[in-house]
Amino acid sequence: MRVLVVEDEARYAAGLRDGLEAEGFAVDVARDGVDGLWLAREHTYDAIVLDIMLPGLNGYRVCRALRGEGDWTPILMLTAKEGEWDEVEGLDTGADDYVTKPVSYAVLLARLRALLRREARQRPAVLAAGDLRLDPAVRTVSRAGREIEVTARELAVLEFLLRRAGEAVSKRTILDQVWGDDFEGDPNIVEVYVRRLRNKVDRPFGRESLRTVRGHGYRLVRDDG
């Protein structure tokens, strides 16, 4: 099996290469994100070990670029940073797993082998209603070919409505599915986020995709203008 290691620390990269080669893997090493992305595009790998803090392009951008191109090679993200938001961002860009350095080689190898045992993932289908598109793989929204910047929560609300396109969905259902059924805040938060989405995906384009269903909730409909 062939593995790509993208790691800028020379000694760490060499240690990974030597250890993986001793286990029978063929290993290519890139020392920055630009070279790593180029190698991933030029060759077929069974897995990629990808550091986040890289010169040129960081690991998030490399991962997002590959997923955006339809490359679903298993990616194990590797970083010296700590914190749940680093992990969330890594997984949100399409990584399959995440380990924080320092990590024992035995653990890293076990996580890598676990990825290799999984069936290859398929790229999630792009959700669309007319020319409004949401790509769950890279978490982007666009309309009429123009990318729209949305927050994580706005994206979650829009994704749920797109998956139920054409249906009248109650505010309570949206709240349960997006915020969780244990949410104890103001339920009118749903109205706030729908209004924000209208200001981003409808009004600038002269559209009315997000419709209010009086006394019930909302319906997202196809609107090509």
Q: What integer pLDDT is reported at residue 85 of this predicted model?
A: 42
Which part of the chain is CATH 1.10.10.10? Answer: 127-220
The burial of 96, by beta-carbon neighbours within 10 Å (0-12 exposed, 13-18 middle, 19 or more buried), is given as buried
- Measured CA to CA, the distance from residue 36 to residue 57 in angstroms comes to 9
Which part of the chain is CATH 3.40.50.2300? Answer: 2-121
148 close to 201: Cβ distance less than 8 angstroms: yes
Q: What integer pLDDT is reported at residue 36 of this predicted model?
A: 94
Q: Tell me the torsion sign for CA atoms 219, 67, 145, 193.
A: positive
User: In DSSP terms, which residues pair with 159 in a beta bridge?
Assistant: none
* CATH number listed for the domain at residues 2-121: 3.40.50.2300
Q: What integer pLDDT is reported at residue 78 of this predicted model?
A: 85
Q: Which CATH number fits domain 127-220: 2.40.50.140, 1.10.10.10, 3.40.120.10, 3.40.1180.10?
A: 1.10.10.10
Q: What integer pLDDT is reported at residue 144 of this predicted model?
A: 92
Please report, in tens digits, the pLDDT of each residue of the chain (225 residues total): 789 999 999 998 999 888 888 888 889 999 999 999 999 999 888 899 999 889 998 888 898 888 877 788 899 988 775 554 455 555 566 788 888 887 788 888 888 888 888 765 666 778 899 999 998 877 789 999 999 999 888 988 998 899 889 999 998 888 888 887 667 778 789 999 999 999 999 999 999 999 999 888 999 998 876
Which residues fall within 8 angstroms of residue 54, CB to CB, at 6 or more apart? 6, 7, 8, 32, 33, 36, 62
Q: What integer pLDDT is reported at residue 84 of this predicted model?
A: 43
In this structure, what are the phi and psi dihedrals at residue 84, rounded to the nearest 5 degrees?
Answer: -65, -30
178 close to 170: Cβ distance less than 8 angstroms: no
